[in-house]
Amino acid sequence: MHVIKSTKINRNSLLVLGFIALTVLFFRFFFPYSNPINFDVFGYYLYLPFTFIYHDLGLSNIAQLHQLMDTYDPSVSFYQASVGPSGNWIMKYSMGMAILYSPFFLLSHFSALLSNYPADGFSLPYQLGIIVGSTVYTLIGIFVLRKVLLKFFGDSVVAFTLLLLFFGTNYFDQSIFNAELAHNYLFTLYVLVLWFTIRWHENYKRKHIILLAIFSGILVLARPTEIIVILIPFLWGVYNWKSFREKLLLLKQFKLQLLLFTLIFVLLGSLQLVYWKIFSGQFFYYSYSNAGEGFDFFAPHTIQTLFSFRKGWFIYTPVMIFAIGGFYFVLKEKRKVFFPLFLFFILNLYLVSSWSCWWYANCFSQRALVQSYAVMAIPLGFFVQRVLKSRLVFKYLFAALALFFVVLNLFQTWQMRNQILSGDRMTLAFYKQIFGKTEVSTEDHKLLLVDRWLEGDERLKDESGYKSRLLTAFDFEKGPQKFQKYLQNDFSHSGQSSFQFDNSILYFNLFEKDFETLTGYDHAWIRVVFYVFPQSELEQKDFTLVMQFMHKGKIYKYKGENILPLLKNKTLQIGKWNKLSFDYLTPEVRTKEDVLKIYFWNKGRGKVIIDDVTVTVFEPDRGE
């Protein structure tokens, strides 16, 4: 394949590379932050300390983990693993990121052993180690990307493309402020895949196919959906049926190298399969236990992913419109690489937008697309190249737009860092209100989506923005026929009867409706109010009000309110009627057909008397 070869120093792109490297180093080490081993990173990382330090990859001593969490506070809850079918804890995330962290983890462990810091996998040496490691991966990615781009473009085009990609996209945010997350690492792996794809097609050397297999395998081991990476090397140079047949003949000619690639790729992937087999009893195990998240392959959220003000890619990273336009020039000028790059882009966008949580939690712009920027740099470069060859007026227009997009990206990154721009609750109204601003008011915050990160008690504290509607009320004088024998006549909070649970009743269903029937809004609050009569502390063993959503029969957003703690802290009075009220905020539902179910669960099978149960919905009052 014809590529541009040059022995020149390429000073412009080299200066840009140095400027980017200094920017990364400046922000990473002159603006230190607290423990980077937190939340998702904590989940990626757990394989290492529990393999090399605690020798307990199945987390059989879960108390050890909770002690570490109490000490280092890496997460508000332990969602990074769940109990599998065999009773072992199974890590939520695959082990690829742990492999990428491992060289720096081992160096950190050696340093901790020689210091006064605890060699527990989470103390300061380990925190510094992962920061240094993430920075090294970032610098490698930018360095090799320059080499990749120089295979296609001249020095000035490469310099301009690197500036746009780094300072004009959310890769800036991910490589500096969130560098320990997967996307920064995967970006570098994609760059290396591109580089060794090019190198192998230049000389067909075995060492290049080995490195290509290793980096491709780790990519997939880090994030299984990155399996589409194999499209790049295997379709490289394919642009029609003739070239496809020629590629098949080429692979046949180097069938031993192809076999070697496959062997390495499969061996790396088998590491995860072996782990799953040991600790779950299954070679293939779906570790995302929360039914509230998953792939919606038949209803991808592509429009929202690209254009919504909540997290639209073109809204918050508009410079990538140039890259999309660049595909046209790739097709016109370098057809041999168009097909693998464009097919990768389409499939990657489909996979990213098929995830139910398409906004990918609290982050700036679409973080799940960041790793694809390694591939998108090539069409972006073709767009830049064409503009630099065009008339002067187009050059000035492009320069003005590019400068605006870069300034916008940097400013909105600053807004994100200073909690002006929200990472997961944005709306068009709020975006217009805070655009270009350096501060935000309490009144402005009312324009955001509802805050689902509620600390402590989940309760609707301000009802002023909501309208209420009674969903159901239970009159136990006219109770369901099958429960008639349990009604307590002449004893109630109001009327003539109440309902008594005893050891023969385990469940009492209060309410069951799908979300679409429940409300037409993006969220609602559900309030359950009832009166309870505790006869004695000993009889109230374990009585719980349960509120939960169900997706295809699987539970998510489970909330159980137990009255036993209320008895112990004397909140409830024995021998009297006590009014209880519990609130529940509906989750980000997978589908509008998902069902809200509310029921009493008499787990202790003791005697509990209830009366006057009501279920009320509070919906946003937006003045319709």
Q: How far apart are CA 93 and CA 286, in angstroms?
A: 10
What Rg value do the Cα atoms of the chain yield, rounded? 29
Distances (CA, A) of 64 to 39, 71, 91, 116, 122: 18, 11, 16, 21, 13
The 3-state DSSP class for residue 349 equals: helix
Q: Say which residue the tokens 């002023």 belong to.
A: 464
Residues sharing a CB contact under 8 Å with residue 549, sequence separation 6 or more, in sequence order: 292, 515, 555, 556, 557, 586, 587, 589, 594, 595, 596, 597
Q: How far apart are CA 23 and CA 21, in angstroms?
A: 5
Q: How far is CA 473 from the centre of its chain?
A: 39
Q: How far apart are CA 593 and CA 222, in angstroms?
A: 33
Instruction: Provide the residue type at 48 as one letter.
Output: L
Q: How far apart are CA 535 and CA 541, in angstroms?
A: 12
Distances (CA, A) of 456 to 76, 260, 540: 11, 54, 24
Selection from 174, 218, 236, 162 nearest residue 369 by Cα? 174
| pLDDT for the residue 380 | 98
As given in the structure block, the two tokens for residue 395 are 């050059």
Strands of 387-523 (E only): list them. 466-474, 487-489, 497-501, 507-514
**In order of start, what are the domains of the chain with their CATH numbers?**
11-417 (no CATH), 466-620 (2.60.120)
The 3-state DSSP class for residue 311 equals: coil
As given in the structure block, the two tokens for residue 183 are 């996307």
| pLDDT for the residue 133 | 97
| pLDDT for the residue 541 | 66
Q: Say which residue the tokens 């195990």 belong to.
A: 285
| pLDDT for the residue 482 | 57
Instruction: Provide the residue type at 581 as one letter.
Output: S
| pLDDT for the residue 1 | 47
Q: How far apart are CA 100 and CA 589, in angstroms?
A: 34
Q: How far apart are CA 539 and CA 607, in angstroms?
A: 6
| pLDDT for the residue 5 | 52
* Helices first, then strands: H and E counts in the chain: 23, 12
Positions in the chain whose pLDDT score sits under 50: 1-3, 6
Instruction: Provide the residue type at 562 as one letter.
Output: N
Asked if 534 contacts 590 with a C-beta cutoff of 8 angstroms, the reply is no
Alpha helices in 530-592 (DSSP H): 564-568
| Full DSSP string of 73-104 | ---SS--SEEE-TTSSEEESS-THHHHHHHHH
Q: How far apart are CA 597 and CA 549, in angstroms?
A: 6
Strand partners, 498: 488
| Full DSSP string of 248-280 | HHHHHHTHHHHHHHHHHHHHHHHHHHHHHHHHH
Pair type for strands 81-83 and 578-585: unpaired
As given in the structure block, the two tokens for residue 342 are 């464009």
Count Cα atoms within 13 angstroms, Cβ side, for 388: 17
Q: How far apart are CA 349 and CA 341, in angstroms?
A: 12
Q: How far apart are CA 55 and CA 533, in angstroms?
A: 50
The 3-state DSSP class for residue 355 equals: strand
Query: What pTM value is reported for the model?
Result: 0.94
